[in-house]
Amino acid sequence: MHIGRISTQPVETCTGDCSALVLAERMRHAHVGDIVVVEYRNGDATPVGMVTDRDLVVAVMAAGEDPDQFTAGQIMSRGLIVVSESDEISVALDEMRRSGIRRLPVVDEAGRLTGIVTLDDIVDYLASLLGGIAQVSKLQRIEEQRFRT
């Protein structure tokens, strides 16, 4: 299964000059725990960083800083790891495990942001697969009983 099929779209994004206060308000309004920081290159959104709710708490709130005085560009994670929408789920899981992260922006072949995939998205997908497998055993018993009686 390709990541692009289970990724969340659209993605909450901002530019690097967005204030921490606005980031927090947008996360609250959209019910998300992250916002992808993008740069526009030739009109296309290219991911350059990510700000999570934890980043806001640790870098701004717990430090007693004024959230209006900090920008996404100052607190975003750098060295952003992304996956291609055509990558298999195992590639995303390997990246998450190796890097200790739960969220990955998803890009197309040109590097444009197309979605975001979280560990929860992958777990939900795998759980649905396992549920389907469990149904096979149940249906097999029903069919066997039907034909043997």
Give pLDDT tens digits for 11-24: 999 999 999 999 99
Q: How confident is the model at residue 146 (pLDDT cuts 50, 70, 90)?
A: confident
pLDDT over threshold 80, residue 149: no
Residue 134 has a pLDDT of 67
- pLDDT per residue as tens digits for the range 82-137: 999 999 999 999 999 999 999 999 999 999 999 999 999 999 999 988 877 766 67
Residue 84 has a pLDDT of 97
- The dihedral sign for the CA sequence 11, 16, 20, 21: negative
- pLDDT per residue as tens digits for the range 28-56: 999 999 999 999 999 999 999 999 999 99
d(CA 99, CA 16): 23
Domains and CATH numbers, the chain: 3-118 (3.10.580.10)
How are beta strands 44-52 and 34-41 bridged, if at all? antiparallel
- pLDDT per residue as tens digits for the range 57-83: 999 999 999 999 999 999 998 889 999
How many Cβ atoms are within 10 Å of 92's Cβ, its own excluded?
A: 25
